[in-house]
Amino acid sequence: MAKRCYYEILEVERTASDDTIKKSYRKLALQYHPDRNPDNRAAEERFKEASEAYEVLRDPEKRRLYDRFGHDGLRNSGFSGFQGFDDIFFSFGELFEDFFGMGGFGGRQRGRSSARRGADLRYDMNITLQEAAFGIEKKITVRKHVSCTECSGTGAAEGTTPQTCATCQGAGRVAQRQGFFSVATTCPHCRGTGTIIAKPCRKCSGSGKLLQDKNLMVKIPAGVETGMQLKLTGEGEPGDRGGQAGNLYVFLNVDEDEFFKRHNNDIVCQVSVSFAQAALGTEIRVPALDKEPREATLTIPRGIQSGELLTIKGGGIPYLNRGGRGDQIVQVIVKTPRKLNKRQEELLRELGELDSKNKGGGCSKILFS
């Protein structure tokens, strides 16, 4: 089933401001929240649909990709939406507090506090135009937290285990019901963890995590461009109390090339030819974009003018996730010689005389300084 337009889902125009988008999402989230619509599958789907739309349109980079490439552009950048309600409440927990003036709807908040998803991480990678065009696999090193090997991530010293907090009964938050809603605050005893560690692990000081460097291989597909993201699922920060790990997002930046300029999937370059080559026509060899350095043959037609464009079909950037390539556009620049020997001057004077006679009228002689 094809996805609906995110702007249509949030009932806003494509030119809507961030504030307008946020207000529209607030209205829809309040209307379709699952705790307000128990056992209503249609409302749950509308809630998830609106949340995914807001996740994209509130982020300037995701919104730019969506406006330009649609849902396919987001998928190619690694965004696949939310996996379930826990992801939504994790991402928008503070936003819901702002929306509803509380720590979320009671049961949903308590369920989320028992296991927390790890934070997402970002890595910025520079690649060459050639690497962007044809893809490459690169090794990166990310500094991130990993589970402590001594306590297996529990945070408790060997031979001990964390104890459930008696104040919040492991929820991490204490709540008071007020009619339909509940007002929740972080448990002051366990500070939101839901557990008490009487004897912390010496290696991680009770955090259950250690900061380490991790080497990862990133496969970059052919045809990417600046601003695209690659998602490495589960390579973000580890979750708390059994929660799933976050993701690592690799943001790509394609370096400027000395010879080629990219325009969508076409590449543009300039080559110089002599006056004689331009007048008589010829074939020249020009650099071509490929996995390995090579040249392509370019036919210069007789009488070409400086600045004209020639096309090498299929010599550009491969299309992302589908066959075919853009074109190589070559701008021809006719060089005017700065220094001439005696014979060259004689020939050019003779040519000038012939041009003048052929045109008829006007000056009878072309003077060259």
| Residue 57 domain-assigned (yes or no) | no
Q: Same domain for 237 and 323? A: no
Distance of CA 332 to the CA centre of its chain: 35
Residues 249 and 270 in one domain: no
- Which domain CATH number covers 158? 2.60.260.20
Residue 292 lies in a domain: yes
Q: Given the DSSP bridges, would you call strands 266-273 and 261-263 parallel, antiparallel or unpaired?
A: antiparallel
- The tens place of each residue's pLDDT in the chain, 369 residues long, gives 678 899 999 999 999 999 999 999 989 988 888 777 877 888 888 988 888 899 899 888 889 888 988 888 787 776 767 656 555 655 555 555 555 544 444 344 444 445 678 889 999 999 999 999 999 999 999 999 988 888 888 888 988 888 888 888 777 777 665 544 456 677 888 877 788 888 999 999 888 889 999 999 999 999 999 999 999 999 998 887 667 889 999 999 999 999 999 999 999 999 999 988 999 999 999 999 998 889 999 999 999 999 999 999 999 999 998 889 999 999 999 998 888 888 888 888 888 787 777 665 444 443 333
For 323-342, b where at least 16 C-beta lie within 10 A, e where not — what string? eebbbbbbebebeeeeeeee
DSSP 265: T
Residue 365 has a pLDDT of 41
Instruction: Report how far residue 308's alpha carbon sits from residue 36's, in angstroms, rounded to the nearest whole number.
Output: 65
Distance CA 116, CA 58 (A): 23
Tell me the Cα Rg of the chain. 32
Question: Do 251 and 268 belong to one domain?
Answer: no
Q: Which two tokens stand for residue 178?
A: 């007020």
Tell me whether residue 323 is in a domain.
yes
Count of beta carbons in the 10 Å neighbourhood of residue 67: 14
Report yes or no on 314 lying in a domain: yes
- pLDDT at position 30 is 84
* Residue 112 and residue 93 in contact, taking contact as beta carbons nearer than 8 Å: yes
Strand partners, 178: 181
Residue 204 lies in a domain: yes
User: Based on the structure, what is the number of domains in the chain?
Assistant: 2
CB 249 within 8 A of CB 123: yes
314 shares its domain with 214: no
**Do the Cβ atoms of 14 and 53 come closer than 8 Å?**
no
pTM of the model: 0.60
Instruction: Specify whether 143 is located in the same domain as 241.
Output: yes
Structural domain range at position 287 = 261-340
Query: Does one domain contain both 229 and 291?
Result: no
